[in-house]
């Protein structure tokens, strides 16, 4: 700012002195009022500085923040259709601003190449994709969220402390209920009581046909309780003709944290159930260790159930870089065993 102002002062001052020098032979010392000329100069400089400050202040809001995350994954699978080593990446960009100090306008943008296998990222074929655009604001003691391309569960408390390595372990195995998604246009509300209880719920519809027979609508509600060492969440969803119940919970011991989840989904013709259980050890050397197992999905009674197992170790190289080697087994008609290394950057 000082340098910029100095650059402005020089031409402004020369502009004033040039006509004075050119007509010096036509005026006397009494015709020149130094105080008046200085006042004019200062007035011009103040005007220029005000304009620059307005430009500077209007360019970026002081309440706007940006965060970035990048994941690189390299690995191979034994028993898969292709056993060649594969590489995949995903980049996420988060933008957030506030207008009142209590509200939040947020946008999440993803880009990735969708590596195949159990570690598959959302395949955006190297194109930026909006993964959530929301506006969150308080109403009384509640928090209201409206937006597009976001999940109803974005306002849920949940009770899963497990850090999953493969897609199967996400949301502690309750991705259809406690981790319910959305269909596009979403409105949800949550309320946290002082006692540790919380209630949340919402609706999500296809943007072109909101709450009509032509569109797809999903309703969800969650009740949760959180304490210092444990938590429990119960959720119900209704997505057209499919309903589901899910529960997950966590309990922290001195040396480890156990997380578990179960859900049941009824599509109108049959019930299908799935479960998950995992252990997280937060202090193993300089990093943390996670190990878990669960079903590869929800299975109806009489169906052959398949399970997945995984173990991973997250080691922070520094505040912004973490490397996570891991192994996993996914059962099926042909069992798949995989080993991979994930490198995560946050900035």
Query: pLDDT per residue over 2-18, tens digit each?
Result: 333 343 334 444 343 34
90 and 141, same domain (yes or no): yes
18 and 72, same domain (yes or no): no
Average pLDDT over residues 304-333: 96
pLDDT band for position 43 (cuts 50, 70, 90): low
77 and 137, same domain (yes or no): yes
114 and 21, same domain (yes or no): no
% of the chain residues with pLDDT over 70: 79
315 and 174, same domain (yes or no): yes
Nearest to 155 by CA among 218, 110, 222, 105: 222
25 CB-side CA count, 13 A: 1
Give the per-residue pLDDT at 226: 97
Tokens of 261: 């989840």
132 and 11, same domain (yes or no): no
218 and 118, same domain (yes or no): yes
CA–CA separation, 8 and 244 (whole Å): 67
260 and 131, same domain (yes or no): yes
Average pLDDT over residues 301-330: 96
Range of the domain at 32: 2-57
13 and 69, same domain (yes or no): no
Number of domains in the chain: 2
CA–CA separation, 154 and 174 (whole Å): 14
pLDDT band for position 21 (cuts 50, 70, 90): very low
Q: Is 204:184 a contact under the CB 8 Å cutoff?
A: yes
223 and 183, same domain (yes or no): yes
97 and 147, same domain (yes or no): yes
What CATH number is given to the structural domain containing 97?
2.40.160.10
% of the chain residues with pLDDT over 90: 65
Tokens of 232: 């429990």
Give the per-residue pLDDT at 129: 85
Is residue 233 over pLDDT 60? Answer: yes
Average pLDDT over residues 270-285: 96
For 92-106, the pLDDT digits (tens) are 999 999 999 999 999
Give the per-residue pLDDT at 24: 39
CA–CA separation, 129 and 126 (whole Å): 9
Q: Give the residue with greater pLDDT, 215 vs 188.
A: 188
78 and 221, same domain (yes or no): yes
Residues ≥6 apart with Cβ < 8 Å to 162: 169, 172, 250, 257, 259, 276, 278, 280, 290, 292
pTM for this entry: 0.77
pLDDT band for position 222 (cuts 50, 70, 90): very high
Is residue 70 over pLDDT 90? Answer: yes
Give the per-residue pLDDT at 138: 97
């Amino acid at each position: 700012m000082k340098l910029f102002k100095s650059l402005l002062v020089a031409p402004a001052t020369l502009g004033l002195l040039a006509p004075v020098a050119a007509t010096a032979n036509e005026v006397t010392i009494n015709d020149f009022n130094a105080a008046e000329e200085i006042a004019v100069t200062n007035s011009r400089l103040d005007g220029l500085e005000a304009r620059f400050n307005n430009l500077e202040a209007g360019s970026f809001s002081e309440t706007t923040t940006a965060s970035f995350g990048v994941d690189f994954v390299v690995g191979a699978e034994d028993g898969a259709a292709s056993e060649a080593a594969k590489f995949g990446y995903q980049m996420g960009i988060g933008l957030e601003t506030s207008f009142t100090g209590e509200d939040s306008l947020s946008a999440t943008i993803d880009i990735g190449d969708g590596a195949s296998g159990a570690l598959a990222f959302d395949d955006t074929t190297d194109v930026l994709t909006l993964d959530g655009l929301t506006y969150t604001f308080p109403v009384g003691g509640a928090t209201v969220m409206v937006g597009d391309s976001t999940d109803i569960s974005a306002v849920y408390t949940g009770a899963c402390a497990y850090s999953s390595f493969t897609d199967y372990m996400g949301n502690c195995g309750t991705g259809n209920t406690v981790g319910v998604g959305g269909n596009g246009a979403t409105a949800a509300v949550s309320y946290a009581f002082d006692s540790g209880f919380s209630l949340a719920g919402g609706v999500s519809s296809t943007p072109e046909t909101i709450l009509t027979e032509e569109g797809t609508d999903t309703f969800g509600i969650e009740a949760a309780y959180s304490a210092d060492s444990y938590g429990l969440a119960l959720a119900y969803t209704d997505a057209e003709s499919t309903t589901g119940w899910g529960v997950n919970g966590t309990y922290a011991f001195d040396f480890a944290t156990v997380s578990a989840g179960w859900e049941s989904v009824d599509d109108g013709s049959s019930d299908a159930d799935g479960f998950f259980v995992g252990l997280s050890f937060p202090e193993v050397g300089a990093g943390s260790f996670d190990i878990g197992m669960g079903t590869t999905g929800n299975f109806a009674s009489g169906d052959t159930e398949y399970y997945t197992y995984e173990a991973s170790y997250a080691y922070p190289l520094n505040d912004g870089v973490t490397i996570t080697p891991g192994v996993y087994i996914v059962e099926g008609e042909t069992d798949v065993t995989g080993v991979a290394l994930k490198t995560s950057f946050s900035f």
